[in-house]
Chains A and B, each alone.
Chain A
């Protein structure tokens, strides 16, 4: 049990650290210009000149994957920030005020939950048009209900605890009690969820980009790199491997870190 917690924490932190390091490095150095076209060397196999090969326009795959890490990371960070902030506000309101506020919020929440997240994001992208902002908005809307559910559930149990009662008896205002006593105690499960959300957002963004409704080319993301690699699967299989490996490594790191956080914050829940 302890051993697994440590393994998850160390390996997860190492992989996430690697991702962050690659993003940071990308700001100061990439082997080539990620969007510079070099028609003399299209579909070059991985080698000394191009470590991960080149794509159909002769663009360096490693440089593109590095820039893709930054774009995916930024979008995922935006989605987590937006959905967690909004989800906290709505979930706190539902759980703390109860009665009709809770009922209205939960019915709306269930209605949004009835759409598969990725399809809802797809439909929203169609309405909003392709851009980074709409991608963040679409994914945040899709993930918001799960944050609301988690926050509400933990507020419902915190509301009954003695220190909340004590704050009420001491004559504190409801808003003060909510922000000073309920909010900090509702945070741990949200931190765990936020970690998973970061992973889901990376996955969903790459899926949308893969389907052609996410980040528009020429800006590279791991998803649209995989999608443009499809016609060249026979001649250049490295194009289908590198971006997928990037997504898988990032997700593995984020998930393991999330598992470690969950075990640490709530040792009773065994997953």
Chain B
């Protein structure tokens, strides 16, 4: 087990280094001089040269990268051009909101997927199965931002049950804040449950054909016990991988959903910074999301042996 953990950690290292390189150079490719963006177009040459020195832009690229990587390693992602705030602090504040919405939604979606997927697999090729497959196919075809708009139209405008747009922090008005995140969570849950249900169903079908399930049934175990103790653990492992991938990607920001509901999350921060050409923030967001993705998948990989002990052996 320990060597498995060590091997996975080591494998993540080259990816991390490449990600850092990619983020650094991608931003250097962007058109426009960052100093001119900060000082405004008509700035005089001396001021621009000073700014270059201050930002380290007069150094050769490899030196710039090392300096940057050194700062990043110490948790310093620079300052936002537009607001002057430290990027790391900005990202962490925004991340808290995104993470709350994403973690709740993915948990709910996983729960729905496990129930619906196992039910469909258990009753394969019946009307119930067709209905579940049909519903998840339909859900997959609905773009999340459109679903968000429709829910907003229904619950915010027509019925008036939930606040239309906006956000207040939890610390100021917890009840209100909770109301603001209901629809984003609902949108995300519906969208994610489609993919996960299909995955859960197909792996449950595969597992149910295995001999040990037949054996468990022949032993006289109740159907509920067969499903819970024998089908679920094995069928859940592939779904868990997908949950990890999904979680990793969504934690990077649910830009479109945050845009529809005007939630100040990480995705919205990234989009706003791109539109404002606030490159330190874009760079920080990209790096942060990639690291979160790698970390989440690492954790999922490390959880894998719990469901499928054969993994550590291979």
Contact = CB atoms under 8 A, between A and B. Distances in A.
A107 interface: yes
B195 to A, nearest CB: 10
B255 interface: yes
Contact of A210 (B22, B137, B256, B286): B256
Interface stretch (B41-49, B139-147, B166-174): B139-147
Interface string A108-126: 1011101111111011111
Closest 4 CB pairs of A and B: A244-B146, A111-B18, A252-B141, A251-B141
Interface in B240-272: 248-250, 252-253, 255-256, 259-260, 267, 270-271
Contact of A248 (B146, B253, B285): B146
Contacts of B250: 116
A233 B275 contact: no
Candidate in B31, B133, B145, B267 with the most chain A CB atoms within 10 angstroms: B145
Interface string B271-302: 10011010000100110011001100000000
A230 B202 CA distance: 38
Main secondary structure of the interface of A (DSSP, over half): helix
A220 B200 CA distance: 38
A111 B20 CA distance: 9
A102 to B, nearest CB: 14
22 contacts: A107-B15, A114-B15, A114-B293, A115-B293, A116-B249, A116-B289, A119-B289, A120-B286, A122-B270, A122-B274, A123-B282, A123-B286, A127-B26, A129-B31, A212-B271, A226-B149, A244-B146, A248-B141, A248-B143, A251-B142, A255-B140, A255-B141
Is chain B's binding surface mostly helix, strand, loop or mixed?
Answer: helix
Nearest to B253: A119
Contacts of A111: 15, 18-19, 22
A211 B255 contact: yes
A110 B290 CA distance: 11
B29 interface: yes
Most buried by B among A4, A116, A117, A244: A116
B137 A115 contact: no
A195 interface: no
A226 B157 CA distance: 17
B58 interface: no
A257 to B, nearest CB: 12
User: Chain B: interface residue count, which band?
Assistant: 35 or more
B145 A116 contact: no
B153 A240 contact: yes
B157 A213 contact: no
Interface string A41-81: 00000000000000000000000000000000000000000
A270 B149 CA distance: 33
A206 B143 contact: yes
B255 A251 contact: no
A195 to B, nearest CB: 13
